[in-house]
């Protein structure tokens, strides 16, 4: 099973939509392998968005990411990186169709409420930046007769 990193940006908690957004991933059948809420340090934000340093939106992006706690998650599933990117929709606001998370919830590209790894290399790097191995909680699909 492939793992990918997902971050619900500060706007998600601020807008009280954490449950709704998380539901999109769960409803699809992805498994939550690790999850936590944290306030990122500036150093961590700069490391996470290092590839965007120097872009015109960079400072504002850092500022937004520091504006409140984020919810960091590792999602697991078949082809999880691609599946999650399909659920989030494209980065550019004008390209994100209705039905995707960004298409449904984001009115500004910079404030696009969710980040998801775009490749196996970034998934590995981002997961390692946010989670220590002992923060993963393995679990089985037992007790299915409950629902």
Residues that bind ligand CMP (CB under 6 A): 52, 57, 61, 91, 109-110, 112, 115
Cβ proximity to ligand CMP: between 35 and 91 the closer is 91
Look at the chain and count its residues.
147
115 catalytically annotated = yes
Q: How far is the CB of 62 from ligand CMP (least distance, A)?
A: 10
Please report the sign of the dihedral spanned by the C-alpha atoms of residue 26, residue 76, residue 83, residue 144: negative
Q: What are 77's strand-pairing partners?
A: 2
Q: How far is the CB of 10 from ligand CMP (least distance, A)?
A: 11
Cβ proximity to ligand CMP: between 130 and 142 the closer is 130
Cβ proximity to ligand CMP: between 12 and 61 the closer is 61
Q: How far is the CB of 147 from ligand CMP (least distance, A)?
A: 32
For residue 92, the 8-state DSSP code is S
CA atoms of 29 and 42, how far apart (whole Å): 33
CA atoms of 52 and 139, how far apart (whole Å): 36
Q: Which residues are catalytic?
A: 115
């Amino acid at each position: 099973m492939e793992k990918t990193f997902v971050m619900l940006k500060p706007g998600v908690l601020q807008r009280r939509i954490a449950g709704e957004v998380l539901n999109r991933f769960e409803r699809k059948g992805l498994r939550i392998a690790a999850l936590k809420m944290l306030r990122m340090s500036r150093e961590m934000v700069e490391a996470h968005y290092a590839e965007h340093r120097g872009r015109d939106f960079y400072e504002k992006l850092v500022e937004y990411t520091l504006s409140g706690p984020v919810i960091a998650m590792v999602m697991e599933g078949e082809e999880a990186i691609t599946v999650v990117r399909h659920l989030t929709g494209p980065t550019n606001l004008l390209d994100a169709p209705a039905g995707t998370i960004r298409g449904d919830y984001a009115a500004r590209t910079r404030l696009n409420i969710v980040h998801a790894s775009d490749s196996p290399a970034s998934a590995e790097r981002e997961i390692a930046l946010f989670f220590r191995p002992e923060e993963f909680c393995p679990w089985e699909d037992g007790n299915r007769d409950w629902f």
